[in-house]
Structures are given as C-alpha cells and as structure tokens.
Amino acid sequence: MIADLAGLLGLSQRLLWTGFVVFLRVGALAALLPAFGEQSIPVRVRLGLAFAFTVVVLPSIAPDIPQIPQSATALVAILGTEVLAGLFFGLLLRFFVLALQIAGTVAAQSTSLSQIFGGSAGVDPQPAIGRVLVTAGLALAAAMGLHTDFAAYMIETYALVPIGQAMDPTVVADLGLAAVSHVFALGFTLAAPFVISSLVYNVTLGVINRAMPQLMVSFIGAPAITAGGLLLLAVCAPLMLEVWLSALRVVVDDPAGAFR
C-alpha cells in the first residue's frame, strides 16, 4: 500500500506541475484577452475563466511539458518565460481593444462629441462613441464564438514559443512594433468616415463664413455636426465592427504571420 501511495503521490505532483505551468501562460494571456480580461469583470470571474481555459488547453500541451526541474534557477527560468510569453501574446490581442478606443476618440473629436458622457460610462475615461464601439465590439466578438478561437490561439502560442524557451528580443521588438503600427492604422481607418465628414463640414463652414461674415456660422453648424456625427455612427458602426472583427480573426488564426 505504501508503494501505491508513493506512486500516487508522484502522479499527483506531476499533474499539479503540468497544470501550474500551463496556467502561468494561459492565466497571463487570459488577463489581457478582449471581453474576458476587461477590468469591469470581477477578479474571481476572470480567475475562473483562466482556470477554464487552462483545462481546455492542458490536454494538447501536457505531453510537451518537461519534468519538474531540480535546480531553482531552471524553475525560475521556466516560470518567468511562461508568464512573459503569455503577456506578450495577450497584448497582441489587447491592442485591438485599443484600436476601437482610438477610433472612438478620433471620431468624437472630429464630430464635437468628445464631451458627451466622457468617462462616466465605463472604467477608462473615454468619449461615449469610444465606449459604444468597445462595448459593441466585445459583445460581437463573444457572440461570434471567439472563445473557442482564443483557446486555439493559446495552443498555437506553444508551437511558436515552446515551454521554457525565452523569446528572441529581436522578434519581440519587430513583432511588437508591427502590431502597434497595425493597430494605429486600424484605428484611424475605422474613424476615416468621421474625419472626412469633419473636413467637409469645416471647409463648407469656412466658405459660408467667407461669403457671409455677419452670419454666426458656428451656432448654426454645431447642431448640424452633432446630429451628423450621431447619424454617421448609426450608419457606419456595423461596417466598422465587421472590419475590426475580421482583423482580430486574422491575428487569432495566425499570430506570427498576421503582422508581416
């Protein structure tokens, strides 16, 4: 019986070690996931989601997990590299939430709507248009079943960066710079209709003011740009969210080659 208990103890240690190693990367990644890692979600719920993703990812990764290292240096190296890998791959997806926030901020500034409900509708201070886009985008991502794609994304990260292997700083710098550039380009692309309409509005207002200096064009134009911005948001929001979701899916399906 003692021998059986000793074998069971070794098996339990192996299972705990395997689950712990997977949880380090998956937990760090899940903390930054769109929709699942939002600050408005309670910490206990986010922790439960991290455990759920760990259970899903574990069977695919378990055969590749090394044995428990005997030295403290090797143990710290594995723990550190797993957390850093999870944070890096999580940031690649978190950037897409920032793209919606950038688009909302640019759109609000262009249409004089930046002060409406600014900072009161969510955790982060941002205009109402940004909050609407972020909330709608996250709801759309959750409704389209991206949680299964996120699990596949987590498994794919282990093929790109094996357990215990440190990421190449050059690759991290190049991929991170490409991701930041892509996100800023995406944010300004989504806000392009609002920027164009603002340009047309200001040029028209300038022409009217030049032709009729006595007319207070700002008092006439302010309600027009506000109503036009809200109407443009209602018309363009579905297309903006579709473009955003397509860009997010490209990165989820191919995290390494999406920004090349």
Phi-psi domain of 77 (left: phi exceeds 0; alpha: psi -120 through 50; beta: other) = alpha
The C-alpha atoms of residue 157 and residue 90 are separated, in whole angstroms, by: 10
The C-alpha atoms of residue 22 and residue 164 are separated, in whole angstroms, by: 11
- Answer yes or no: are the C-beta atoms of 65 and 163 closer than 8 Å: yes
Alpha helices for 36-168 (secondary structure H): 43-61, 72-110, 128-143, 146-160
A 10 A CB-CB count for 63 gives 7
Model pLDDT, residue 7: 52
Model pLDDT, residue 103: 92
Model pLDDT, residue 11: 55
**Residue closest to 38 by CA, chosen among 142, 154, 119:** 142
CA atoms within 13 A on the CB side of 123: 8
**Burial of 8: CB neighbours in 10 Å, binned 0-12, 13-18, 19+:** exposed
- Answer yes or no: are the C-beta atoms of 84 and 167 closer than 8 Å: yes
Question: Which amino acid does the sequence have at 15?
Answer: L
- Answer yes or no: are the C-beta atoms of 229 and 186 closer than 8 Å: no
Residue extents of the structural domains in the chain: 2-253
A 10 A CB-CB count for 86 gives 24
**Burial of 210: CB neighbours in 10 Å, binned 0-12, 13-18, 19+:** exposed
- Answer yes or no: are the C-beta atoms of 114 and 201 closer than 8 Å: no
In order of 142, 212, 225, 226, 229, the CA distances from 209 in angstroms are 48, 5, 16, 19, 21
**Burial of 1: CB neighbours in 10 Å, binned 0-12, 13-18, 19+:** exposed
Q: What is the pLDDT along the chain (260 residues), one digit of tens a residue?
A: 555 544 544 556 777 888 888 999 999 999 999 988 888 888 899 999 999 999 999 888 888 787 877 788 888 888 889 999 999 999 999 999 999 999 988 888 887 766 554 444 345 567 788 888 999 999 988 888 888 889 999 999 998 888 888 888 888 888 888 889 999 999 999 999 998 888 888 788 777 777 777 667 667 777 777 788 888 889 999 999 999 999 999 888 887 766 66
Question: Global pTM?
Answer: 0.83
